[in-house]
Amino acid sequence: MDTTHGANRIGNGHEEPHGHTEALPHHKVPYFLIFGVLVVLTIVTVAVAFLDIHNEIVKVLLALTIASIKASAVALFFMHLKFEGKLIYLILIVPLLLCILLVCALIPDIVHGTPFNPVTPLPGVTGHS
């Protein structure tokens, strides 16, 4: 074994231990196309914000759906998740499930304050003159 393995080099020194070049696996990904999709979806996100939706749940779900599509585009293509093995998917699925579990577990802690009125009476004052 070469005892000066990596001792004089700046990098990790393990790139070519036996002197042969291996092409690192790289997949053909249409980066610019995905970038275009992301920009379009960002414009869609902003446009949807101008729609006057009064139902809070619908607003949140719509925003989260568009954000999830953008996130999937980044994760599957930019992060090469589409070409990864089962282990990486397992590492990802666990926190995603735990996220949903966390938010659901916090639901009993939602505290509805007094009806929104920034003019709150001082203690002892009835609020009517």
Q: Is 97 in the site for other proteins (CB under 8 A)?
A: no
Tell me the Cα Rg of the chain: 26
Cα separations in angstroms, 101 against 61, 88, 96, 109, 112: 17, 21, 9, 14, 21
Footprint of other proteins on this chain (CB under 8 A)? 1, 5, 9-12, 14, 17-18, 24-26, 29, 31-32, 34-35, 38-39, 42, 45-46, 48-49, 56, 59-60, 63-64, 66-67, 70-71, 74-75, 78-79, 84-85, 87-88, 91-92, 94-96, 98-99, 102-103, 106-107, 109-113, 116, 118-122, 125, 127, 129
